[in-house]
Structure 1
């Protein structure tokens, strides 16, 4: 049976609805990070028990759900995994989606004012809610004060992780005082997150107290990812591009090993079980967004973005937007089970299981190519359907599959990448082959005789096959682009994409934020 938090996040959403829509949710935007509304819940009038504190924490957890829109879209469409072609009058939106894919944005363009600004506000809203709850818990007499604080500090660290990944240096706010804040360096944000997670993991439980809550595994998984990305995250971005910092490869191995050797997680025998409608049963998933179909509007909508209008009976029908690139789809080995998450060829209705048609009544057949992304046909492009649709979903934002931030497979591949960078290539490939075992029948292992440069390309490709649609690819291409042996770079030309300025490995601070806070300094190049 669901425990209290999963009931909160999945069913009644008590804390998420009451608090996010009310007192805790009343903190608005980046310039009001620390504003406390007059009707705010305070230690004087609420949060007297651990149950009440947990209900307040649910509002902080609820803020994670916002990453399934802006953070996901920008991570995917800027890379070579997915794009959003214009289909007649659908999906143009003043050129915003093509701008994201072509990397032609600036601080005042459509995608900056809509998508990037949305991520900035969503993540700082999460920081504000976490800060408010941290202040409440610090003033409480809870017997579980340290554990509650560790949980909230981990969530706040995650919101800052997203901000660091996208924008580099941002304001660092840890209190509820109201005052303008200048941005600090990206390295300072990195060190803050690192310190917070290392402190929290000493207190967090080995296993989540309830499904969906953070644990030692979550803190260690974030750290492993940060350390493998340290040359980027602790580097400097100028108008000329990224100047890398030193690697933190042994730190990455240590953090990954703490997850791998914890005994809490194991690789799912069925790859697709990690993304199923009931993927809360997966033994592999470490950090997830707990989605729900009831009440409506608290689930995911990834299925809607990719499926054709006629493929699901949800009210209004799917949106027929996102599609893959032929170059990327054709990179997969045809025997790789992970290739099946891409839909091509004749299509069925997920309601009837029977062949379906396009809007003109012709058989619906997804091509693997797109002729012109500015005027694509409704059937063009492979569709990434990693999270299968619930047939009874009441609306397009109510698919209950839990979105996975981190799972055990990534810990193996992070460790493999770090080992390879330390010159231990044979050990690295052995770990990659452990992930490949469930993807092929019969097994198709990589050669342990690969050179270090060859292994880099193999690991990057394996991450594409394993993590497509999991908002990893942009980060992977930035981290590995330009290294010896790697042929795909984040700013390099790709299908329908021309080479762009190297400083765009960071997004601009949106113009609206600069107008609201004169202490902010724009990222280099913009």
Structure 2
């Protein structure tokens, strides 16, 4: 039997306090549909949990607490400042004192809340690492892990702010270090954990305190080398001295010796977002899409990741950050999304329509609910159907509520809760291929040397091989692969593109390659912190 069911459609006013989002539901209208009288039910999802339990739980838990995959801190600052995405002002929604408009247009100042929050997030994480070290009782392996973990948070600070304080014990107020000094500290901690004095073609890791065994949630030799590869790839930006050969060697060692697999169409997982009545929803996800799925905890491409779980490891909320309020009906979410983040049209269009990553990374077009009915948005006067369009009419003040492809790379699941269950890769094999490709090309001054590794990545995406490649084409390819993985800002800076003009953003000064040191931190430092030039 069928019953008449009224599904009340709602829009939301987003009210911000600092970098937080609250939702006040406003009833807009009703649509009457015929649906089955039984409500859909979803079994308990067996995700990856919050990772292993050991003496390093507190320190590793800071990966979730440091803004890695949620709104308002590290991930947001790194991503919204690039040409990947924007948070548009939709009338009274998402203005938030102009902080996201400033981030997009590179007019941010030292009092910008998310920039200040990202600083605090990393130092809180470093404090937890320092406590774990000071408490003692760690094995040699655990001590090596926590030092590399601390170096990872300093790598973030090095990248964002440059000149920071290197704090290695509690209640100590060291002087502000130069960017080169912070680089040297990060490099030294990783090399020490690996038991080597430098990356060479014949390096021997047999004396490393880090394990060679795979463990997505703990730092092993390959995770440390992957982090070192990322550090060396950007060394010229950080210190003025290129280290591309070492970047290529570190990435190549991971590729050749780690035992990780570049997943392709032969690897699949169930599509947990499947709507039975929507024929376009595949039963399974394959290849690239599986790396970011809710059940990605055993994915053989991931070298080191952050474990997220709605019950025991919250902190990822991409579904709420990007989807329209009414998309709650597509996935039977327990909470309404916020309708904030969307991809820029030019970035979306940089993908060929046959690129499998385009399908995996974005949500566009007419939206359907779980029963296969078109979702209606009564707040749209021109067309009641909810249709995500790649075009965005303007950044502010009245951006379309449906404008912009939505961020779908970290895919959703039916019956999803407030927090998502997808793990966030920090180091994965696909990135290692691209780092080796770029580093080899830069070291030799010959971009043709990138072709083999780039074409390996393109083949996985179902794309034909390049016969030649330029620096700009490589940057575009890297962008297509690494979307949403907080590498785009680094990439644009390294290629000299970060301060160019793009949609609704004028050209910006080179000093914007560093974020300002938060004014609150300078004020509290007693004169021991000084501001980055230009701010």
TM-score band, normalised by shorter chain: 0.7 to 0.9
Are the structure 2 counterparts of residues 436 and 372 from structure 1 closer, same or farther at C-alpha, using a change threshold of 3 Å? Answer: same
For the 8 Å contact 1:338–1:465, the answer to whether it is kept is yes
Match in the other structure for 2:324: 308
Q: 1:84-233 to 2 correspondence within 5 Å?
A: 84-108=87-111, 112=112, 114-137=113-136, 140=137, 145-176=139-170, 178-201=171-194, 202-208=208-214, 210-233=215-238
CA distance in 2, matches of 1:413, 1:150: 27
Checking the alignment, whether the CA contact within 8 Å between 2:69 and 2:317 is kept in structure 1 is no
Equivalent residue number for residue 253 of structure 1: 248
Aligned residue in 1 for 2:351: 332
Q: How does 1:337-356 map to 2 (within 5 A)?
A: 337-340=356-359, 341-349=361-369, 351-356=370-375
Evaluate the alpha carbon distance shift between residue 170 and residue 339 of structure 1 in structure 2; reply closer, same or farther with a 3 A threshold.
Answer: same
CA–CA distance in structure 2, aligned partners of residues 300 and 55 of structure 1: 18
- Deviation per residue, 1:139-166 (Å, 9 max, x gap): x3x5xx2101001001100110110110
The reply on whether 1:272 has 2:272 as its aligned counterpart is no
2:429 aligned to 408, 413, 429, which one? Answer: 408
Question: How many Å apart are 1:380 and its aligned residue?
Answer: 1.1
1:470 match: 485
**1:305-327 Cα shifts (integer Å, max 9, x gaps):** 11111112434411111111111
Deviation at 1:92, TM superposition (A): 0.6
Q: Secondary structure at the match of 1:203?
A: coil
Deviation at 1:218, TM superposition (A): 1.2
Contact kept, 8 Å, 2:216 with 2:304, in 1: the verdict is no
Q: Is contact 2:64-2:308 (8 Å) kept? A: no
Q: Write the distance in 2 (CA, Å) between the matches of 1:423 and 1:366.
A: 42
When normalised by structure 2's length, the TM-score is 0.79
> 8 Å contact 2:356–2:461 — kept in the other structure?
yes
More strand by share: 2
Residue 64 to residue 264, structure 1, CA distance change in 2 (3 Å): farther
Q: For 1:370, which of 369, 392, 402 is the aligned residue?
A: 392
Equivalent in the alignment of 1:394? 417
- Distance in 1 of aligned mates of 2:90 and 2:57: 44
Deviations 1:89-140 (A, max 9, x none): 11111111111101101113xxx2x101111111001111101111122xx3
Whether 2:491 is the aligned partner of 1:435: answer: no
Q: Is the partner of 1:219 in helix, strand or coil?
A: helix
Classify the secondary structure of the residue corresponding to 2:304. Answer: strand
1-structure distance, mates of 2:515, 2:125: 19
CA distance in 1, matches of 2:75, 2:96: 18
The match for 1:519 is 528
Name the CA distance, whole Å, in 1 between partners of 2:318 and 2:64: 18
Alignment gaps of 5+ in structure 2: 1-47, 195-207, 265-286
1:322 aligns with 341
Q: Indicate if the aligned counterparts of 1:206 and 1:264 stay in contact, CA closer than 8 A.
A: no
C-alpha offsets along residues 66-95 of structure 1, whole Å, 9 cap, x if unaligned? Answer: 564411111111110100111121111111
Unaligned stretches of 5+ in structure 1?
A: 1-5, 16-50, 235-244, 482-488
Q: Is the 8 A contact 1:79 1:490 kept in 2?
A: yes
Judge conservation of contact 2:69–2:318 (CA < 8 Å) in 1.
Answer: no
Residue of structure 1 equivalent to 2:314: 298
Q: Does 1:493 align with 2:501?
A: yes
Indicate conservation of the 8 Å contact 1:60/1:155, yes or no: no
Structure 1 position 264, deviation (Å): 2.4
C-alpha offsets along residues 188-233 of structure 1, whole Å, 9 cap, x if unaligned?
A: 111100010111122211124x541111111111110111111111
Q: CA deviation at 1:57?
A: 4.2
Residue 425 of structure 1 and its aligned partner are, at CA, apart by: 3.4
Contact 1:67–1:119 (CA<8 Å) still a contact in 2? Answer: no
TM-score, length basis structure 1: 0.80
Take 2:488 and 2:60, find their aligned partners in 1: how far apart are those partners? 29
Q: Which structure has more helix as a fraction of its residues?
A: 1
Q: CA RMSD in A?
A: 1.9
